[in-house]
Structure 1
Amino acid sequence: MTLAATITVTDATFDAEVLCAKVPVVVDIWAAWCGPCKQIAPILDQLATDYAGRIKIVKIDADQNPEAVTAIGVTSIPTLGFYKDGARRDMLIGAHPKPVIVEKMEALLA
């Protein structure tokens, strides 16, 4: 089994990596100064491995990529956006425990 890692996206690559993805995508909108963002990062890294090939997990730095973050309507971080077939299906704002994130990911696969 290959180890999957989270993928970094930017304003320039957001559409291609998220909206045009062939598999569902979880988008982690974060910033370096955000404590709760750092809390959920290891959970997302683990889930990227657990769901490799079925769901892609990407990270976008809110400070470095204001265009994409504004376009998707993020007002608070961390925010997790759950995308399927080019559209956001769900969203979690704030740090949540792994079971809550997994439940949202499973719903994407349903």
Structure 2
Amino acid sequence: MSKFGELISAQVPVLIDFYTEWNEPSLSMHPVIRDVAAALGDKAKVIKIDVDKNQELADALRIKGLPTLMIYKGGQMIWRQSGELDANSIIAIVQGQL
């Protein structure tokens, strides 16, 4: 969990995609998240976290639906949504936090 604290304490927005390898909506978000990361470059961090490998963190954050996307800035969660979104919507949300 302390590593998670380090990840989210960045001064740039940190977009986190919580997913699993067996969840179809999670899998369909992989190319979307890749596009978002490419579009944002170094203006934001984009991180993928497999909930099966990080169950304690997923429980602590009450991750129920997949995929779940979160944006943190300066250690604080500023946005959260479960379900699929298109790349342009995610990019616009992150850019609103720059």
TM-score (norm 2): 0.90
* Equivalences for residues 17-56 of structure 1 within 5 A: 17-18=7-8, 20-56=9-45
The aligned length equals 98
Partner of 2:78: 89
- Output the amino acid matched with 1:77: L
Contact 2:70 2:77 (8 Å CA) reproduced: yes
Between structures 1 and 2, the one with greater helix share: 2
Deviation digits for residues 29-50 of structure 1 (CA, Å, limit 9, x no counterpart): 0000011111111111121121
Match of 2:93 in 1: 104
Q: Which of these residues, 55, 69, 74, is aligned with residue 66 of structure 1?
A: 55
Calculate the aligned-residue CA RMSD, in Å. 1.4
Structure 2: unaligned runs, 5 residues or longer: none
Q: Is the 8 A contact 2:40 2:91 kept in 1?
A: no
Aligned sequence identity (%): 28
Deviating 4+ runs (over 3 angstroms): none
